[in-house]
C-alpha cells in the first residue's frame, strides 16, 4: 500500500532557529499533500494544502511566513518552521493522497514529527 515517510520523528531546537520537516511519498506520486498540527490530547488541525509546483494554501490563522511549505516534486513536500518559539511546539503530521488509488481516496499519513522548542 501507499507509504508516506516523514522525518525527523523528533526534533528539539532552540528558540529563534528554523526547523525543516520532510514528507515523502515512497511508492506513489502525490500531487496534493496536507500538513496538520496536533496539540496534546487534541484533534488534527489542518494547517495548509500544497499542490506540486504551486503555492500552498494556508488555513485561516496559520502564518504562511512562519510555516513555509515547499512541494517541488511529486514525491516530496517540506514544512519549515521559521524562527521557532516554544508555542510552536507540537506534533506535525503530513498526509498525501494517492490519486492512483482506484481513482478514489487513499489518504495516507506520515508518522508525525514531535517538535519541541526550548
Partner 1 sequence: GENVEQHPSTLSVQEGDSAVIKCTYSDSASNYFPWYKQELGKGPQLIIDIRSNVGEKKDQRIAVTLNKTAKHFSLHITETQPEDSAVYFCAATPPPGRRALTFGSGTRLQVQP
Residues that bind partner 1 (CB under 8 A): 6, 31-32, 34, 42-44, 46, 49, 51, 91, 93, 95, 97, 99, 104-105, 107-112, 114
Distance, CA of 27 to CA of 56 (rounded, Å): 23
**Minimum distance of partner 1 from residue 66's CB (angstroms):** 20
Q: Which is nearer to partner 1, 20 or 114 (CB)?
A: 114
Q: Which is nearer to partner 1, 15 or 89 (CB)?
A: 89
**Minimum distance of partner 1 from residue 25's CB (angstroms):** 14
Q: Nearest to residue 84, comparing CAs of 25, 37, 18?
A: 18
Q: Which is nearer to partner 1, 49 or 70 (CB)?
A: 49
**Minimum distance of partner 1 from residue 18's CB (angstroms):** 23
DSSP letters, 19-68, are EEEEEEESSS--SEEEEEEE-TTS--EEEEEEETTS--EEPTT--TTTEE
Q: Which is nearer to partner 1, 36 or 117 (CB)?
A: 36
Could you tell me how far CA 10 lies from the centroid of its own chain? 14
Cell, residue 87: 508555542
Amino acid at each position: 500500500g501507499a507509504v508516506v515517510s516523514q522525518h525527523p520523528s523528533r526534533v528539539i531546537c532552540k528558540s529563534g532557529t528554523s526547523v525543516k520537516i520532510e514528507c515523502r511519498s515512497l511508492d506513489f506520486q502525490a500531487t496534493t499533500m496536507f500538513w496538520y498540527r496536533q496539540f496534546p490530547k487534541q484533534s488534527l488541525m489542518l494547517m495548509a494544502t500544497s499542490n506540486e509546483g504551486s503555492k500552498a494554501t494556508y488555513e485561516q490563522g496559520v502564518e504562511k511566513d512562519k510555516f513555509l511549505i515547499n512541494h517541488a516534486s511529486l514525491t516530496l513536500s517540506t514544512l519549515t518552521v521559521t524562527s521557532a518559539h516554544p508555542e510552536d511546539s507540537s506534533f506535525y503530521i503530513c498526509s498525501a493522497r494517492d490519486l492512483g488509488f482506484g481513482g478514489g481516496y487513499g489518504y495516507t499519513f506520515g508518522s508525525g514529527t514531535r517538535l519541541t522548542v526550548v
